[in-house]
Amino acid sequence: MKKLLKTVFWLCIAASLFTACQKKESDDNKTDSKETKLTVYWWGNQTRNERTQKVLTMFTAEHPDITFDPQFAEWADYWNKLATSAAGHQMPDIVQMDYTYLNQYAEKKLLVDLNPYIQDGTLDVSKVNSGILQSGSVAGGQYAIVIGVNAPAMLYNKSLLDSKGIVVKDNMTLKEFIDLCKDVYKKTGYKANVAYGNNQNYLEYLIRGDGKQLFNGNKFGVDSAADFEPFFNTYEQGIKENWLVSPSIFSERTIGSVEQDPMIYGTKADSMSWCALVYSNQMSAFCKAAPKDMTVGITTWPADDPVKADFLKPSQFFSVTTDSKNPKAAASLINYITNSVECNNVLLAERGIPASSVVAEAVTPQLDSIQQTVATFINKVVTPNCSPISAPAPSSATQVFELINSLEEQVCYKTISAKQAAQELFTKGNEILAK
């Protein structure tokens, strides 16, 4: 019996040792595994989504140890979700960043300074124009890498206007634009959409056209509320004279969605727009979403002095967040997007003309006719007739943007006048900025 018990005892010990060895081997295998999974988050449209996901797959094929969790959203939802994840310190590893919001995220220490990865060779920016590269810098830190260059662009239903003999010129003044809106409405029944619900950029554009800046530190850069009146007058006049789309059509749409933009989506002329104030890199998505019989044209945004108003802009950046556990791997993806010709032969300048001069030159012959049109627009129309871009908006600007949209909505619904809206923006906006 004792001998039996002794045998059982040693068998148990052997089994436990075998189990422990198996566990150690399993743990060792986990330790040896170097697979890194990165979450990449961007805003955009279906064209961008498809191309970006293909590029991520290509990168993984070259770097099997790095995989991705791709996430994307429409413009408005994107920033709400990003702010929520930032508050909970659960931001994605890599985020698409906009010039307007760069200061806010960098100053709150939510983004990684990429200078160390530039210095150790992980991220090569030697072929990126120093001025464009500098646009991603805040207080000496390189918190974002520009993915492409674009410019403000008014897209329009060219086939519709051509059918009525209506000509759209570049570098229109605001008065010329309003006269054009009246003419288009009279001859076609189509109305205009002047960046409804997403118009802080257009307000800044108009202010630049007056030789001023929207922001100056912790206050507005304008002299008085009167500087804001032309902006709000455009909406007040458009609603009164019926050449501006009704705000009611946006009640069940995602503002910023190309597919739901009134230039693309709708069945009746009086609820559709003949134009959209967006950016040049969005032309591909608009052309893809447009009906087959629509030709899309491109021109500049209107302003009293188009040369003072217009500018070249980093279309988007990619940034690495401080919540990332693998910032070096994240930087290597940004390097791939910046410098790989194969990668950009897939992206095809959808986010803007590539920032790397070498990549831009290599990719240009591969661009389709739409992107060739965009490249010509940037090189021949905007570049010779523009001024340096304004400094990024201050960190408190988000509330100001919300106020601008709210006041514009009230003007369009006729609950306040343009003059009242201008005064309220000047007063309340300065109060927000001073906090």
What is the per-residue pLDDT across 272-312, written as a single tens digit (0 to 9) for each? 999 999 999 899 999 999 999 999 999 999 999 999 999 98
Quick check: 25 pLDDT over 60?
no
Percent of the chain with pLDDT over 90: 72
Asked whether the whole model's pTM tops 0.85, one would answer: no
pLDDT of 27 above 60: no
Q: Look at residue 224 and give its three-state secondary structure.
A: coil
Tokens 């029944």: give the residue.
189
pLDDT in tens, 235-244: 999 999 999 9
pLDDT, tens digit, for every residue of 2-15?
344 344 334 443 44
The answer on pLDDT for 33 being more than 50 is no
Q: How far apart are CA 179 and CA 211, in angstroms?
A: 23
Compute the distance between CA of residue 236 and CA of residue 220 in angstroms, rounded to an integer: 23
Using the predicted structure, report yes or no on whether residue 421 has a pLDDT greater than 80.
yes
Give the least confident one: 92-96, 148-152, 227-231, 426-430.
148-152
Average pLDDT over residues 117-135: 91
**Best CA proximity match to 155, nearest among 200, 194, 190, 98:** 194
Q: What is the pLDDT, as a whole number, of residue 38?
A: 98
Q: String of b and e for 334-371 (b: at least 16 CB within 10 Å)?
A: bbbbbbbeebbebbbbbbbbbbbeebbeebeeebeebb
Q: What pLDDT was estimated at residue 122?
A: 98
Position 29 confidence tier, pLDDT thresholds 50, 70, 90: very low
| Beta bridge pairs of residue 354 | 148
Distance between CA atoms of residues 265 and 353, nearest Å? 27
